[in-house]
A and B are shown apart, each in its own frame.
Chain A
């Protein structure tokens, strides 16, 4: 189960990686899947986002590709957030190991939700986030997850307009926005 998940994430990364980095943007040689973070960080981000907007009758953050929104954001637009992500994720990982003896991405859904609820209230041990705060990191990734899920697909998330379909909205809502489509 666990290794299947890992494999799945790897496959996704391969797939998304090729979509994200068109040959014109980046030499195709180096197999870099995410510009902003490592594969391990990626699996934690992916797991957090999926709890923030989980799949139900409609796809969740994972299927919407929210992680690609965050990756693009960190790499191209607001690299200053990279630091908070690094430190925030390191804290999540250390805390998850201490509490459950496992990586955050490997925890059960209930464990992940419990940790996130405590983080939101700032109630996990503060020592895991010496350079940022758990709340600051939580707020940042929550905002970015919402942006990725509900923003335009051209920013990396909201794949196939999943959130718009869920909200029974025709796309594009912005007259003229279809000029971004090929």
Chain B
């Protein structure tokens, strides 16, 4: 209780923010955790084939409310387009307590040691801001351990020679394969590859006082009906609240950070009734996701920081990364689909690094699940999209499609970025996110590489028709958004130091996907959680005297 006098504000109750609130509150710091969304209540929220966090044609089940939160896309020719979650390149994760961790697929990847030193391993890439992280895998490893224990991961890497934690056990046993998983595992083995059961932030057995998974296939994009999927909303945030040191303000949108030039002093926020308030604190942590963290810093421009907080060198919002999902599908003449969830269960890390002529690579997994509507949007090239042929395809192939896909490691570039609009404001009158720029052209080659590997597996498996999908090109960001407030040792080319402290200020930290220098060839959440544990511990050590 020695820190009782200290107060902290954490902006955003998602992956990074949830962990941060717990770390600070447990050390005795008085925390106010702000979340623009609500608690995700299973009974209250709607989700179905057209409303989830994966298929959002009628809305995002876990936020944000598209009517109140427009964004802008700026195209290469300078033209701008107003976008919502239903349209192009809106680039959100979610907006509720837990954010993406409520509805995610829950794959729990550790990055590989190479992912922290991409430039040293592969050399500089023209037109790219590719760099090493200021920290190594070894620096982060203890915090990966912590995230796996506290949030809860099921898995077993003993059969995977590429896993940095091959000889270490997870708190829960690995999940069993479903039908296509078991089948593809066998095929990969025959090819000399190294398939394994995907580590998951999901209970394979009862854990932490909550139930074991019931293998619901509609898992990714949805909340778990029995709370067997582990996010910050059902682990660290309740722990933070139970300390008595943390107050959670839901439906509260932070729109400005005040500074005196050396320290961040207060935030301004709107409550659920759109009333504006101000709150001071000793320490401020921004965990609003790669897009919204950059937006908040840029919107907090003042006489001390005329270009926005942390933006002296124009790095805030830069190097936006996500993942081009790339892979292949194949049609089989026997049934592959069973309804044992969540679908994705087998993976290979054979193609993450050290591929001839490729910088990085990516993990390949089988698919989560496509409900019939989503399935109707996925066809081999040239296949009819409507009419009798469409219907026939739907019913003949729904149970007979196999797929291997994965996130390609994107090569960052300076012009792929988040800015704030000088014209468009949201419901609260706050300038909105502008997404602009595109992926580095080299990503295309990497995507083709991974897709061809995926296709080879499906061919070997006996698919009578195969095709590749998901190339590079276009804008990035999305649900794996990262990189907009890069951490680094040189303030000229980064926004925060190696602990996530914004260079210009003594007490302003970032703990979310924004920090990531590169985004790995893996889904990013475990790395975001681990970084937040590390920064949380650092803050406690720095500030407790």
**A residues lining the B interface (CB < 8 Å):** 51-54, 56, 58, 60, 73, 77-78, 113, 116, 120, 142-143, 145-147, 150-152, 154-155, 163-164, 166-169, 173-177, 179-180
Contact = CB atoms under 8 A, between A and B. Distances in A.
B334 interface: no
A86 B339 CA distance: 41
A143 B59 CA distance: 15
Given A53-B391, A174-B218, A174-B222, A169 B58 contact: no
A154 B339 CA distance: 23
A40 B199 CA distance: 55
Contact of A150 (B218, B222, B371): B371
Contacts of A164: 372
Contacts of A146: 373, 376-377
B523 interface: no
Contact of A142 (B49, B225, B386, B388): B386
Given A53-B386, A177-B48, 8 more contacts: A54-B388, A77-B58, A143-B57, A147-B50, A155-B50, A163-B372, A168-B395, A174-B49
Interface string B217-254: 11000100100000000000000000000000000000
B387 A54 contact: yes
A147 B373 contact: yes
Contact of A173 (B59, B339, B385, B390): B339
A167 B372 contact: yes
Contacts of B50: 147, 151-152, 155
Contacts of B222: 174
B371 A168 contact: no
Nearest to A77: B58
Contacts of A166: 391, 394-395
B86 interface: yes
A40 B251 CA distance: 45
Contact of A152 (B43, B49, B390): B49
A79 to B, nearest CB: 11
B543 interface: no
A118 B288 CA distance: 46
A73 B395 CA distance: 26
Given A150-B373, A155-B58, A167-B394, A176 B385 contact: no
B339 A78 contact: no
Contacts of A154: 48
A53 B390 contact: yes
Nearest to A142: B386
B7 interface: no
Contacts of A56: 388, 391-392
B343 to A, nearest CB: 12
Interface in B169-217: 214, 216-217
A56 B396 CA distance: 14
Contact of B225 (A143, A152, A176): A176
Contacts of B214: 175
B476 interface: no
Contacts of A51: 386-387
B162 interface: no
A49 B63 CA distance: 31
A179 B43 CA distance: 9
A169 B49 CA distance: 13
B368 interface: no
Nearest to A49: B386
B305 interface: no
B235 to A, nearest CB: 21
A102 B395 CA distance: 35
Contacts of A142: 385-386
B39 interface: no
A150 B376 CA distance: 8
B467 interface: no
Given A173-B371, A174-B218, A151 B48 contact: yes
B88 interface: no
Contacts of A147: 50, 57-58, 373
A169 B372 contact: yes
B391 A78 contact: no
Contacts of B399: 168
Given A151-B48, A151-B373, A163-B372, A173 B387 contact: no
A151 B50 CA distance: 6
A149 to B, nearest CB: 8
A-B pairs, 4 with minimum CB distance: A150-B373, A152-B48, A150-B372, A52-B386
A167 B385 CA distance: 17
B122 interface: no
A143 B222 CA distance: 22
Contacts of A116: 386
